[in-house]
Amino acid sequence: MAAGSFRRRIASQLSKVLDLPPENLINSISAVPVSKKRHVADFQFSIASVTENSSSDYLAQDLHRQAEKLAERLKCDSIVSEISAGPGTVNFTINRELLAKTVLQQVWKDGSEYGVKSELFSTVPRQKVVIEFSSPNIAKKFHIGHLRSTIVGNFIANLKAALGHEVVRINYLGDWGMQFGLLGVGFQSFGNKEKLKSSPLQHLFEVYVQINKAAEDENTKKLAKDFFRKLEEHDEQTLSIWKQFRDLSIEEYIRIYKRLGVHFDEYSGESFYQEKAQEVLKILDNKGLLQKTIKGTGIVDLSEKKDLSLVSTVMRSDGTSLYITRQVSPSVDLAAAIDRMNKHSWDTMIYVTDKSQSNHFQHLFQILKLMGYDWAERCQHVSFGLVQGMKTRRGEVIFLEDVLNEVRSRMLQNMTSTKTTKEIQDPVETAEKVGLAALIIQDFRGLLSSDYQFSWDRALQSRGDTGVFLQYTHARLHSLKQMHGNAELTDVNVACLQEPDAISVLQHLLRYDEVLYRSSQDLQPKHIVSYLLTLSHLAAVAHKTLPVRGSAPEVAQARLCLFQAARSVLANGMKLLGITPVTQM
């Protein structure tokens, strides 16, 4: 990794002066973010990382003096051309030609693995990671509420896979419960087999709306209970209807996931764990963890003092495990977690859901620990906030497909108003990819746990910090290759890349591994989003000030190589976020 070789060289110098092993110093040496003030060093070493006394008074008074002293003891060489002291840091500037040569060579050599081969990841063990995300309810159209879980889970899976982990993507469907009793009765009354085949989820949605009007009717309630009881008893005809609902739902979802660029290794669901959930209840009972309330409901006491001040309900009063909602019942999830460990022997399991389910997962992990499963420590809940104000032109939006169609249509309209759209081979497909980038970047710009207000105007701006701008930049950089051909790295004279705007792009490329490392630690996509937006702005400035056309051949080749490196890293980052880069726009 480009940054890695420079970090090691700086650590080696520091090691001799500080009398510390170089490997203890590497993580305290970081690439300096590019500044609009132009001249910034390439790396900085934090003095606080080697200071024993870390009181704030001591830090404020003494760190700068220590940095100055250390900078005086260090010497420039063929790699480091300048050393200076900053507030609590020692700053290192790399020989400019060596910087350009090393960064471009590394991007060229590593291709799609640039950044992930960094020594920052060398101590991170390769793991088997199970990620559960998306999880819509079958027999219902894909609700917009599941979009965040889908794109966040996809990002985490992409990132983990890129870093060399073995990833299992699981879609845990809401495919069981009393609502299927109601839907089954509704289909018997209002269902149409032809409509079910031609537009399954739309038809089931219509059926559900109709039967829901009679949901409070005692006869309807009784019929729904009877239908669900037959389902629990594995009645062949009833199961056949339910299975058809499930299979048709998955087919529809796969079609929508394809539009989102998302895939799953396994479609699971609450229905898989009916019997296993009963086994879990027996284990809880045998371990003395299952208690009964006066009403006969089964609970697990999670309070520290064992005074029932914090309990989790795991069983209905009729002795069956709860399926109603995740917030109410962890019993099915307990069975699923145990089953996944038996099946996959995972190292980490990540659940991606909205933050309203945080308590449910805290209870789930606590009960697993009480049951004696130490691996519960390796379960993780990645939560996210709510999206507000997502409306189509027709009003408040409910279904994801309406949003995807809307963003594609708006994007197509925007593209049609520009001169270049006529040349695009498949404008509808391009509009789809650019529109999805717009949705993803608006979603990923902030902390995942934050709620945010959705805005079509903000999302679809072609300038500013948007997914449209990322796609536009990628297409523009790609067009340079189309116009001028590939630059061969062997022909590049790096002395032609000494302008401030070229150096800014190179410095920014140097930081990519640190950004990936940060996202890998907290699973927040915002670090990568911010990095790619800055890269796009820097590339846009360089594109204006460092023209390829009309420049001397040697200069043109060097600049072309710089722009190809920027495009390559931009594409890599976009793919991690779940965005397919476009080559025309």
Report the predicted TM-score, pTM, of the whole model to 2 decimal places. 0.93
pLDDT digits (tens, 9 = 90+) for 208-228: 888 988 878 889 989 999 999
CATH code for position 55? 3.30.1360.70
Determine which of 57-71, 369-383, 446-460, 556-570 has the lowest per-residue pLDDT on average: 57-71
Please tell me whether residue 288 adopts helix, strand or coil conformation.
coil
- Average pLDDT score over residue span 404-420: 84
- Cβ neighbours around 485 below 10 Å, total: 10
- Does any domain span residue 423? no
pLDDT category at 421 given cuts 50, 70, 90 is: low
- Average pLDDT score over residue span 355-378: 94
Instruction: Give yes or no: residues 169 and 272 share one domain.
Output: yes
Taking all residues of the chain, what is their mean pLDDT, rounded to a whole number? 90
Q: Cα(320)–Cα(515) distance, rounded to whole angstroms? A: 48
- Cβ neighbours around 328 below 10 Å, total: 14
Determine which of 133-137, 491-495, 509-513, 555-559 has the lowest per-residue pLDDT on average: 491-495
Instruction: Give yes or no: residues 358 and 461 share one domain.
Output: no
Instruction: Give yes or no: residues 187 and 336 share one domain.
Output: yes
Q: Measure the N-to-C terminal CA separation of the chain; round to a whole number of Å.
A: 32
What confidence score (pLDDT) does residue 43 get?
Answer: 96
Q: Does the pLDDT value for residue 377 go beyond 60?
A: yes
Determine which of 249-263, 415-429, 475-489 has the lowest per-residue pLDDT on average: 415-429
pLDDT digits (tens, 9 = 90+) for 125-177: 999 999 999 999 888 888 888 899 999 999 999 999 999 999 999 999 989 88
pLDDT category at 388 given cuts 50, 70, 90 is: confident
In the numeric block, the tokens 């060489």 are attached to 77
What confidence score (pLDDT) does residue 94 get?
Answer: 97
With contact defined as beta carbons under 8 Å apart, do 350 and 341 qualify?
no
Q: Does the pLDDT value for residue 187 go beyond 90?
A: yes
- Does any domain span residue 111? no
- Average pLDDT score over residue span 540-567: 95
What confidence score (pLDDT) does residue 403 get?
Answer: 87
Enumerate helices (H) and strands (E) in the chain, giving the number of each: 20, 16
- Does any domain span residue 109? no
pLDDT category at 325 given cuts 50, 70, 90 is: very low
With contact defined as beta carbons under 8 Å apart, do 556 and 443 qualify?
no
Tell which residue, 238, 325, 310, 315, has the closest CA to residue 277. Answer: 315
Q: Does the pLDDT value for residue 314 go beyond 90?
A: no
pLDDT category at 57 given cuts 50, 70, 90 is: low
- Which residues are marked as active site? 140, 143, 146
CATH code for position 497? 1.10.730.10
- Does any domain span residue 473? yes
- Average pLDDT score over residue span 84-91: 92
Instruction: Give yes or no: residues 87 and 132 share one domain.
Output: no
What confidence score (pLDDT) does residue 419 get?
Answer: 62
The DSSP 8-state label assigned to residue 426 in this structure reads -
Q: Does the pLDDT value for residue 328 go beyond 50?
A: no
- Does any domain span residue 384? yes
Instruction: Give yes or no: residues 150 and 227 share one domain.
Output: yes
> HEC string of 64-106?
HHHHHHHHHHCCCCCCEEEEEEECCEEEEEECHHHHHHHHHHH
- Cβ neighbours around 438 below 10 Å, total: 26
- Cβ neighbours around 2 below 10 Å, total: 26
Q: Does the pLDDT value for residue 556 go beyond 90?
A: yes
Q: Cα(483)–Cα(330) distance, rounded to whole angstroms? A: 59
Number of domains the chain contains: 3
- Does any domain span residue 583? no
- Does any domain span residue 191? yes
Q: Cα(164)–Cα(264) distance, rounded to whole angstroms? A: 18
In the numeric block, the tokens 């309203």 are attached to 356
Residue at a domain's end among 47, 75, 94 = 94
What confidence score (pLDDT) does residue 157 get?
Answer: 98
The most confident of 121-130, 176-185, 317-326, by mean pLDDT? 121-130
How does DSSP assign 137-198, residue by residue?
A: BTTS--BGGGHHHHHHHHHHHHHHHHTT-EEEEEEEEB--STHHHHHHHHHHHH--HHHHHH
- Average pLDDT score over residue span 531-538: 97
Instruction: Give yes or no: residues 155 and 60 share one domain.
Output: no
What confidence score (pLDDT) does residue 122 get?
Answer: 87
What confidence score (pLDDT) does residue 176 get?
Answer: 87
Exposed (0-12), middle (13-18) or buried (19+): which is 564, by Cβ within 10 Å?
buried
CATH code for position 199? 3.40.50.620
How does DSSP assign 338-385, residue by residue?
A: HHHHHHH--SEEEEEEEGGGHHHHHHHHHHHHHTT-GGGGGEEEEEE-
Instruction: Give yes or no: residues 90 and 145 share one domain.
Output: no
List the domain range (segments joined by +) for residue 506.
436-577
pLDDT category at 323 given cuts 50, 70, 90 is: very low
Q: Does the pLDDT value for residue 324 go beyond 50?
A: no
pLDDT digits (tens, 9 = 90+) for 425-466: 889 999 999 999 999 999 999 999 999 888 888 888 878 899
- Does any domain span residue 267? yes
Residue at a domain's end among 78, 94, 110 = 94
Instruction: Give yes or no: residues 135 and 36 share one domain.
Output: no
Instruction: Give yes or no: residues 465 and 538 share one domain.
Output: yes
- Average pLDDT score over residue span 298-306: 90
Percent of the chain past pLDDT 90, that is, above it, reads 67
Instruction: Give yes or no: residues 355 and 250 share one domain.
Output: yes
pLDDT digits (tens, 9 = 90+) for 477-500: 999 987 877 777 777 899 999 999
Instruction: Give yes or no: residues 377 and 252 share one domain.
Output: yes
With contact defined as beta carbons under 8 Å apart, do 407 and 471 qualify?
no
Residue at a domain's end among 76, 94, 112 = 94
Q: Does the pLDDT value for residue 55 go beyond 60?
A: no
Instruction: Give yes or no: residues 169 and 86 share one domain.
Output: no
- Average pLDDT score over residue span 409-431: 82
Report the alpha-carbon angle 102-103-106, nearest 5.
85
Q: Are strands 348-354 and 128-132 parallel, antiparallel or unpaired?
A: parallel
In the numeric block, the tokens 């299975």 are attached to 243
Determine which of 62-66, 115-119, 239-243, 476-480 has the lowest per-residue pLDDT on average: 62-66
In the numeric block, the tokens 């937006």 are attached to 533
pLDDT category at 112 given cuts 50, 70, 90 is: very high
pLDDT digits (tens, 9 = 90+) for 14-49: 999 999 999 889 889 999 999 776 678 999 999 988
What confidence score (pLDDT) does residue 129 get?
Answer: 98
